[in-house]
Amino acid sequence: MMKKIGITGQAGFVGNHLYTTLSLDDSVILVPFKRSFFSDIEQLENFVVQCDIIVHLAAMNRHEDANVIYNTNLELVTKLVNACTAQKVTPHIIFSSSSQEQKDNLYGKSKKEGKQNFMDWANQNGGTFTSLTIPNVFGPFGKPNYNSVVATFCYKVAHNEEASIINDGEVGLIYINELVQVFIDVIHQKAAVIEIGKNSHEVNIAPTSVKKVSEILGLLQGFKKNYMENGVFPSLEDPFEKALFNTFRCFVPENHYPVKYTKHTDDRGSFVEIARTQTGGQFSYSTTVPGITRGNHFHTRKAERFAVISGKALIQLRKIGTDKVIDYYLDGNEPAYVDMPIWHTHNIKNIGDKELITLFWINEPYDPEDADTYFENV
């Protein structure tokens, strides 16, 4: 059965990610929501009657007057409850609460009292209510100086602004994709919940990473130096660092691109390094004019691949200390590759009458101080 889902605050940081992810789910019908609905009772009531599930994300997080935050957040809850009551509908309401609930501040108080108001509504009207207690969230498209310290640092580092640390404490974090998956699990009743009242449940979401503020800033500064300035992709094996890197990339200024490559050209053709990675090696390509041979060297530790994508080539290999030469003929009309074993000197020759284009991958970037490249003719 198709679920009709409405998201208050769908234009916000979490709401936008949840909305766009759910739009990929064929079992869901999304009911559009606008902030103006909270100022128009008729529109708000028309919204709630269409929904099987309402994810209530609309809230105020920052304001110079904490009382404005408190009053606004409670008012939004009250209006939503009143609309459901007036139309006698009982959608499943999923509420975005916060770990600030237990702290002595008006934002936390607004979340705690808002949750209680929803619980009372569910108890009195036979509705269903689930509260999600959410840690600090980070991810692409967060608003600097509003959503999270990560968004603020990403923006400042990417735009060459000074990022300062006021309190270098530990921060519990969850990546937006991980949080969205929790919401989806709750929507499809796959999440583990705790009963907190009649028809009311809670999901306490633990941080997936705990990092010091200085550690986060250090990683971002590394991305700036290695990725933005030198074009080197960082290690993407650690889930947090991959999530942080993908977040950072969304803050790279539009005018950073296109980034021009360095093209090395001589009588043989040209050579261009495409990309380096900290863990995945180096990618490059060459053009070679007819009759020219490249290479005639071997490696003792490097894994390397030659891929011919245009033109005709002869790739030759010979094991060091032997006389046997292995010939491989490749044609770009049927793109193919040959991997270079260690301790095998190798070369590639353009045997056609047109330009030869070859892609290269090697498992470690070239380092002139430790090249592991020894020249010997095949």
The helix (run of H) or strand (run of E) holding residue 243 is: helix 239-249
CA proximity to 84, closest of 144, 114, 128: 128
Q: What is the pTM of this model?
A: 0.90
CA quadruple 144, 149, 155, 159: dihedral sign: positive
- Residue 85 Cα to chain centre, angstroms: 39
Domains of the chain and CATH, by start: 3-145+161-208 (3.40.50.720), 263-375 (2.60.120.10)
Give per-residue pLDDT as tens, 174-222: 999 999 999 999 999 999 999 999 999 999 999 999 999 999 999 999 9
- Residue 235 Cα to chain centre, angstroms: 14
Q: How many helices (H) and strands (E) does the chain have?
A: 8, 22
Instruction: Provide the pLDDT for residue 34.
Output: 94
Q: Which residues of the chain have pLDDT under 50?
A: none
Distance CA 358, CA 272 (A): 11
Please, are residues 244 and 219 in contact by the beta-carbon 8 Å criterion? yes
Give the strand order in the sheet containing 293-298: 325-331, 312-319, 344-350, 293-298, 374-375
Distance CA 362, CA 284 (A): 9
State the alpha helices, DSSP H only, in 50-160: 66-87, 106-125, 149-158
Give per-residue pLDDT as tens, 237-260: 999 999 999 999 999 999 999 999
Q: Could you tell me which residues come within 8 angstroms of residue 115 by beta carbon, excluding any fewer than 6 positions away?
A: 95, 97, 101, 131
Helix (H, G, I), strand (E, B) or coil at 265: strand
Tokens 């550690």 -> residue? 215
Distance CA 366, CA 11 (A): 46
Instruction: Provide the pLDDT for residue 1.
Output: 77
Cα radius of gyration rounded to whole Å, the chain: 29
CA proximity to 293, closest of 343, 331, 350, 223: 350
Helix (H, G, I), strand (E, B) or coil at 248: helix
Query: What CA dihedral angle connects 37, 41, 47 and 52, to 10 degrees?
Result: 120
